């Protein structure tokens, strides 16, 4: 499984401004009800944006950490036989 599949980055970007958990208010007949629904929907979209943005930032940080760990593993892997030989030599002293 790769990181993009686990967090569905394309879906997060596509729905960045979508309401949070599809919480949508429908306007009533009066102007007060319409303004309240507009404000509720704006807040819901704001919360959705903030949550999705933080998830995207967490994915970016996690991707950087994974890249760093992979580079360290690639560099360290050829050194493993030398560590074994060094361990045997140090153990014989």
pLDDT in tens, the chain (93 residues): 688 778 888 888 898 888 888 778 888 889 998 999 999 999 999 999 999 999 999 999 999 999 999 999 999 999 999 988 988 988 876
This prediction has a pTM of 0.73
**Residues, the chain:** 93
Single out the residue of 25, 28, 23, 21 nearest to residue 52, CA to CA: 21
Phi, psi of 27, rounded to the nearest 5 degrees: -70, 150
Contact 56, 12 (CB under 8 A): yes
């Amino acid at each position: 499984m790769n990181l993009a599949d686990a967090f569905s980055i394309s879906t997060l970007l596509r729905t960045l401004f979508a309401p949070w958990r599809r919480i949508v208010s429908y306007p009533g007949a009066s102007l007060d009800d319409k303004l309240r629904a507009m404000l509720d929907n704006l807040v819901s979209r704001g919360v959705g944006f903030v949550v999705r943005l933080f998830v995207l930032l967490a994915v970016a940080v996690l991707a950087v950490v994974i890249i760093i760990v992979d580079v360290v593993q690639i560099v360290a892997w050829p050194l493993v036989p030398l560590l074994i030989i060094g361990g045997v030599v140090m153990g014989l002293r």
